[in-house]
């Protein structure tokens, strides 16, 4: 029995090594990025930051482009019910996403509904998760929810339509139609800024906080973009107005606190004091993503996914089948994930295609939106599938889509039999990605196990 147990343990260790996404959730920690003030987010949550982070995931994305599950809301059952802003994911794997019907949906990792909260969510804003598990969402009012969906507190007069951010002291900041408001974690107001540009397009604007505590807000109205810098006491430090392309701009922070404003086909690069460093035309339309490893700049737009060095020279360029790509997200292995209207792409760190998966139709989202990656590698995306029929019911639907390996290991427990473990190992081996050194080590372990079996009676 002792030998049987030891063999089972060896096989389990081997399987963990064979499958990179089999690490437990507790072993990964979400990272906001060095260019941001490290806010009091739940770092054990799988995706807690909203837009106030560098889009460099601590998780390895899926090796498999398959739909695991899809939750659908049909137009015929309630009119337009768009899912648009990226989901947040809690430490227990719960997926939180808002809808244009003003409901916040909480999904279990298998796609079943955990709970639904009415009248709290706005389709263009992402929930954020604080260190104590509080979920902050906006829909005119600012609402603080407990993980079970009950209301902790709310400000019904917040008039907020932008995703909140959290600073290192737990202060929560929102932008409403006129100014920035800071809240203590108990819901009391800390301060309000002076009035900013009024009349900006709601929902798709961005507020972030840099590592020196500066609050940057990007507002847009047509081709006019307004950039504000405030300190943590609400005092305006500087503001700029630029003219870009029509539509909503993308906004990113560089490793040296540069501000990257994606304005149509032009990217304006400012230093932290608002001085223009560069007016760059790589053809990018969505927000750029800055690699936390080497500062490389990843862009999408103009029908391409591209990587540039920090001096703006081209590193590589990948040409997808169709344009209209969202902002890139980089997984912990350097793989870049993006999607177009009808395809999701995984691009290797050298710019070659890893895999692609066609889909009926994804929601286009906004220039700052990126795919959400869970700790098991699952990609969470949002669908909008118009299916109009002339002689029948409207089949148009809106959805949350989970993409990844649908295989779930349910047999490798302390009570598993030897043959159950072997069969599970055989299943995992089909998708194993190993280096030559790891392959040699795996063969040596399997040879030893085979020899041990011959010795048993």
Do residues 380 and 423 share a domain?
Answer: no
Do residues 275 and 296 share a domain?
Answer: yes
Q: Assess if residue 122 is contained within a domain.
A: yes
Do residues 188 and 74 share a domain?
Answer: yes
Do residues 115 and 191 share a domain?
Answer: yes
Q: What is the CATH number of the domain that holds 131?
A: 2.140.10.10
Do residues 340 and 198 share a domain?
Answer: yes
Do residues 70 and 122 share a domain?
Answer: yes
Do residues 309 and 169 share a domain?
Answer: yes
Question: pLDDT tier at 346 (50, 70, 90 boundaries)?
Answer: very high
User: pLDDT tens digit string along 413-423?
Assistant: 444 566 666 66
Q: Assess if residue 408 is contained within a domain.
A: no
Number of structural domains (the chain) is 2
SS3 383: strand
Q: Assess if residue 117 is contained within a domain.
A: yes
Question: Which domain, by its residues, includes 182?
Answer: 34-403
Tell how strand 353-358 and strand 372-373 pair up: unpaired
Sequence-separated (6 or more) residues with CB below 8 Å from residue 239: 196, 226, 227, 228, 229, 274
From the number of C-beta atoms within 10 Å of its C-beta (0-12, 13-18, 19+), residue 420 rates as: middle
Average pLDDT over residues 16-34: 60
Do residues 13 and 38 share a domain?
Answer: no
Enter the DSSP assignment of 112. -
Phi, psi of 98, deg, nearest 5: -90, 165
C-alpha R_g of the chain: 23
Do residues 67 and 188 share a domain?
Answer: yes
Do residues 350 and 249 share a domain?
Answer: yes
Do residues 330 and 445 share a domain?
Answer: no
Question: pLDDT tier at 4 (50, 70, 90 boundaries)?
Answer: very low
Do residues 71 and 114 share a domain?
Answer: yes
255: Cα separation from own chain's centroid: 19
User: pLDDT tens digit string along 229-263?
Assistant: 999 999 999 999 998 776 678 999 999 999 999 98
What is the overall mean pLDDT for the chain?
A: 87
Q: Assess if residue 344 is contained within a domain.
A: yes
Q: Assess if residue 44 is contained within a domain.
A: yes
411: pLDDT strictly greater than 80:
no
User: pLDDT tens digit string along 177-191?
Assistant: 789 999 999 999 999
Percent of all residues in the chain with a pLDDT value above 70, rounded to a whole number: 83
Q: Assess if residue 301 is contained within a domain.
A: yes
Please answer whether residues 369 and 249 qualify as being in contact, where contact means their C-beta atoms are separated by less than 8 angstroms.
no
Please answer whether residues 227 and 184 qualify as being in contact, where contact means their C-beta atoms are separated by less than 8 angstroms.
no
Q: Assess if residue 413 is contained within a domain.
A: no
């Amino acid at each position: 029995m002792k030998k049987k147990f030891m063999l089972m343990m060896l096989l389990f260790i081997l399987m963990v090594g064979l499958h990179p996404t089999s690490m437990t959730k507790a072993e990964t920690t979400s990272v906001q990025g060095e260019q941001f003030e490290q806010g009091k987010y739940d770092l054990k949550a799988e995706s807690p930051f909203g837009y106030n982070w560098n889009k460099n995931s601590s998780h390895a994305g899926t090796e498999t482009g398959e739909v695991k599950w899809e939750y659908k809301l049909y137009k015929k059952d309630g009119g337009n019910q768009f899912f648009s802003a990226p989901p947040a994911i809690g430490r227990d794997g719960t997926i939180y996403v808002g809808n244009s019907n003003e409901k916040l949906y909480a999904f279990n990792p298998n796609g079943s509904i955990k709970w639904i909260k009415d009248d709290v969510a706005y389709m263009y804003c992402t929930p954020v998760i604080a260190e104590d598990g509080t979920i902050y969402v906006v829909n005119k009012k600012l609402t603080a929810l407990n993980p079970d969906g009950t209301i902790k507190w709310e400000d019904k007069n917040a008039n907020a339509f932008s995703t909140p951010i959290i600073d290192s002291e737990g202060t929560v900041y929102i932008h409403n139609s006129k100014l920035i408001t800071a809240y203590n974690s108990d819901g009391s107001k800390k301060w309000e800024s002076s009035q900013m540009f009024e009349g900006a397009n709601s929902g798709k604007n961005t507020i972030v906080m840099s590592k020196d505590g500066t609050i940057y807000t990007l507002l847009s109205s047509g081709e006019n973009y307004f950039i504000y810098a405030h300190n943590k006491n609400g005092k305006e430090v500087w503001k700029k107005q630029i003219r870009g392309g029509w539509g909503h701009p993308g906004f990113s922070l560089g490793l040296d606190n540069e501000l990257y404003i994606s304005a149509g086909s032009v990217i304006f690069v400012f230093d932290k004091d608002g001085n223009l460093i560069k007016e760059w035309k790589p053809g990018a339309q969505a927000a750029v993503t800055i690699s936390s490893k080497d500062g490389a700049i990843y862009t999408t737009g103009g029908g391409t996914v591209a990587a540039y060095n920090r001096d703006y020279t081209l590193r590589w360029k990948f040409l997808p089948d169709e344009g209209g790509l969202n902002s890139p997200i980089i997984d912990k292995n350097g793989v870049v994930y993006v999607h177009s209207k009808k395809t999701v792409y995984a691009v290797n760190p050298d710019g070659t295609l890893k895999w692609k998966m066609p889909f009926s139709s994804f929601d286009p989202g906004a220039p700052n939106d990126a795919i959400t990656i869970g700790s098991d590698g699952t990609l969470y995306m949002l669908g909008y599938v118009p299916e109009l029929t002339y002689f029948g019911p409207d089949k148009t639907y809106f959805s949350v889509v989970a993409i990844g390996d649908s295989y779930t290991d349910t047999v490798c427990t302390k009570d598993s039999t030897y043959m159950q473990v072997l069969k599970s190992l055989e299943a995992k081996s089909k998708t194993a990605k190993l280096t030559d050194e790891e392959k040699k080590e795996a063969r040596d372990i399997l040879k030893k196990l085979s020899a041990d079996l011959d010795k048993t009676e």
